[in-house]
Amino acid sequence: MLEHTGVLFTYLIAIKDDETDRISVSGINSLQCLLKDFPLRIAELKEEAEGTNPEDILEIYCIFGANPQTKVFMDQIRKVQNLVYNNILTNKDFDYQAFILQNLAEQEKKKCFSEHVAWIITYHTFCFERLYALQQFQFTQADDMLEVCCLGLGLEYEDNRCLWMQSAVEIWMEREAPRLYGRQVTINSYWLNDLKGRRIIGVLPENDGDGYFLLVEGGKKVRLAAGSAAYRNEQIGVRDINIFSINDLNIIENNPIYSYGIYFQPYEIFEDWQKVFQYAIAVLDVEWTPDTLQKVYELFLDFMKNQICEFVETPAILEKEIFFKTFLKTINKKREYLCCKEDAIGPSVIIGLQKIQSYQRFAGRRQEDLSRTNLYQVREFQIFVVIFLFHRKSQLYWVHLKIE
């Protein structure tokens, strides 16, 4: 259910101008939009391009990830497309649009990322104003780590606009600088959304003397000489100011390296996921104890090791009982905030709720269905992972992690 979570799925629409040789590119991606909302958002973007010559409109789906992951997605897309084509060819009464819409609606229950992506692309190929012919091309970064598989929506079997489509993807990639961060694909807009609403506190020199960085509210560091890698959720620490900061203390309290001997890299990604996990635990109507919390947390660590981060195992130096007593205090503070005790957590955490926290695409309850004064019952001991997505307004979604 939660396989290939680190993959980034993107839809791009570009308008080309033959006279000036310019292309304007916009789009949506699975870090800002739930998969179930893709068809609606795509329709909105296409509506904005109404009145443009169809030959000047370029539409491309892109899948960003490591090679084994992208192959799974491309195989799934071929499988679904072949299924539809075979039914059309063998059954003259086959209603392919109804068949596609039915399968697309069922994807929310299945929660298989690659299959959901395949049905979205198939829906677009068959069910919009015309039938499209998919034009496949790909890019590989210089380090061969990140692979980009693209499917352009051609107007005919051999679309001579394929070079324009490639140019549109290159423009978007130059702007967003996609990269593998651990096993998670990240882009510039994902990171920079975290800075919205934060004040600049000051400018400090780098600890190695090579340039300066902005100190932003919440202890965030924005390196001034790092180009597209200026901000990666890095926080100020003892190496920057020669004294222990709150962030250093939080790392000591919450980093599983001390109690489990697991060193996750990159830690910034792990930290974001762990904050999401903590809020998921906080909103459940469960009286957590160190023992019950440990069972759930170990499933979370397995997920992080398999799907999101690289890790190194080292000897543990802290008893798990001590770790979970501290962890439980953090959960209770967040629960107090959710029960309208405003001073339970600091303003930096509240600002953090507005960033794109999650990497999961599966819809559940919307924010309007939730109340800060209500906690939610656990049925069949399922864990609901809170996901914060910033799209027009902050929205709150849920994902299931099944506990054995």
Question: Which of 162, 185, 208 is the last residue before a domain boundary?
Answer: 185
Q: Number of folded domains in the chain?
A: 3
User: Quick one: CA dihedral 382, 265, 199, 8, positive or negative?
Assistant: negative
Q: How far apart are CA 85 and CA 262, in angstroms?
A: 48
| pLDDT tens-digit series, residues 270-317 | 988 888 888 888 888 888 888 889 989 999 999 899 888 999 999 988
Do 142 and 191 lie in one domain? The reply is no
In a domain, 26, yes or no: yes
* CB of 149 closer than 8 Å to CB of 62: yes
Q: Name the DSSP class of 255.
A: -
Do 146 and 203 lie in one domain? The reply is no
Residue with the bigger pLDDT between 20 and 139: it is 139
* CB of 293 closer than 8 Å to CB of 383: no
Question: Which of 254, 274, 299 is the last residue before a domain boundary?
Answer: 254
* CB of 396 closer than 8 Å to CB of 360: no
CA dihedral 194, 200, 201, 207 (to 10 degrees): 70
Position 341 confidence tier, pLDDT thresholds 50, 70, 90: low
Average pLDDT, integer, range 218-238:
77
Do 264 and 205 lie in one domain? The reply is no
The mean-pLDDT minimum among 28-32, 128-132, 171-175, 197-201 falls in: 128-132
* CB of 13 closer than 8 Å to CB of 58: yes
Q: How far apart are CA 244 and CA 389, in angstroms?
A: 32
Do 71 and 180 lie in one domain? The reply is yes
Examine the pLDDT at 377 and tell me if it is beyond 60.
no
Do 250 and 288 lie in one domain? The reply is no
In a domain, 2, yes or no: no
Do 265 and 240 lie in one domain? The reply is no
Position 340 confidence tier, pLDDT thresholds 50, 70, 90: low
Range of the domain at 229: 187-254
**Secondary structure (DSSP) of 227-246:** GGGS-SS-B--HHHHSS--H
In a domain, 3, yes or no: no
Do 398 and 262 lie in one domain? The reply is yes
Judged by phi (left if over 0) then psi (alpha if -120 to 50, else beta), residue 389 lies in: beta
Do 175 and 31 lie in one domain? The reply is yes
Element containing residue 85 per DSSP (H, E) = helix 67-90
